[in-house]
């Protein structure tokens, strides 16, 4: 038990040492960054670190945090995030948190599927269903993909054959083997009919909603 207490104390001391080595203005910058994206809790966390390490307060930052905490949204409100404008599509916690959709409404997939899947701002299927609830307010009636894989449908498929030629003491031998590739299917939702299915991503036809989480 004593060893555990000592270990916890050492870890706490190490954390405080790391905080002390960081320029306090960095914590204020991180606080401002969180405020810019509407992350009130994250802003409060970094501001708390700032006050603990400096023993001082920044009244302008506190005012911004208070304003952020009191800020609520409703479906259809406009949010400015960086250079983009989003429309609030779903809210929870009394309007303090939720999802908003980029005003142009949709985006095309990258032809590189791996790039697309790791791209930020694409809703999972549960989030897509939440947005669907307010499709009439948002004016969204297309078929939109999610980033949630339909594991039951994803599978290996034949992708042709590969011939291999090699020589040995008996002569030249050519072998042929099939090439298989793993194809992932992802859930999509038709906002006009409510139909749910899954398919392979197609860079020419697959359309996604681009969202901001606040």
Structural domain count, the chain: 2
**Residue with the larger pLDDT of the pair 61 and 22:** 61
Whether 188 and 111 share a structural domain: yes
Per-residue model confidence as pLDDT tens digits over 68-111? 777 788 899 888 777 788 899 999 888 888 999 987 655 555 54
Residue 60 falls within a domain, yes or no? yes
Residue 174 falls within a domain, yes or no? no
Averaged pLDDT for residues 57-62: 88
Whether 120 and 140 share a structural domain: yes
Residue at which a domain ends, from 42, 70, 98: 70
Confidence of residue 11 (pLDDT cuts 50, 70, 90): very low
Residue at which a domain ends, from 22, 37, 70: 70
Give the model's pLDDT for residue 50: 92
Averaged pLDDT for residues 57-65: 86
Give the model's pLDDT for residue 195: 95
Whether 94 and 188 share a structural domain: yes
Averaged pLDDT for residues 144-173: 70
Whether 30 and 94 share a structural domain: no
Average predicted confidence (pLDDT) for the chain: 77
Residue 159 falls within a domain, yes or no? no
- HEC secondary structure over the chain: CHHHHHHHHHHHHHHHHHHHHCCHHHHHHHHHHHHHCCCHHHHHHHHHHHHHHHCCCCHHHHHHHHHHHHCCCCCCCEEEECCEEEEEEEEEHHHCEEEEEECCCCEECCCCHHHHHHCCCCCCHHHHHHHHCCHHHHCCCCEEEEEEECCCCCEEEEEEEEEEEEEECCEEEEEEEEEEEEECEEEEEECCCCCEEEEECCCCCCEECCEEEC
Whether 207 and 114 share a structural domain: yes
Which residues form the domain of 20? 2-70
pLDDT at 57 over 70: yes
């Amino acid at each position: 038990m004593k060893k555990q207490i000592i270990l916890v104390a050492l870890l706490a001391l190490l954390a405080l040492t790391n905080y002390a080595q960081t320029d306090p203005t960095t914590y204020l910058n991180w606080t401002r960054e969180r405020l810019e994206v509407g992350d009130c809790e994250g802003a409060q966390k970094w501001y708390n670190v700032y006050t603990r390490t400096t023993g001082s307060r920044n009244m302008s930052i506190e005012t911004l945090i208070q304003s952020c905490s009191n800020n609520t949204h409703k479906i259809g409100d406009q949010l400015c995030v960086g250079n983009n404008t989003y429309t609030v599509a779903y809210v929870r916690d009394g309007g303090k948190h939720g999802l908003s959709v980029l005003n142009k409404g949709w985006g095309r997939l990258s032809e590189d599927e791996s790039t697309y899947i790791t791209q930020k701002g694409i809703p999972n299927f549960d989030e897509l269903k939440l947005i669907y609830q307010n499709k009439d307010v948002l004016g969204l009636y297309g078929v939109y993909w999610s980033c949630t894989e339909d594991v039951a449908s994803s599978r290996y498929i034949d992708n042709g054959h590969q011939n291999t030629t090699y020589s040995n003491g008996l002569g030249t031998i050519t072998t042929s083997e099939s090439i298989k590739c793993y194809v992932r299917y992802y859930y999509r939702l038709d906002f006009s009919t409510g139909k749910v299915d899954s398919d392979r991503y197609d860079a020419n036809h697959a359309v996604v909603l681009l969202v901001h989480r606040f």
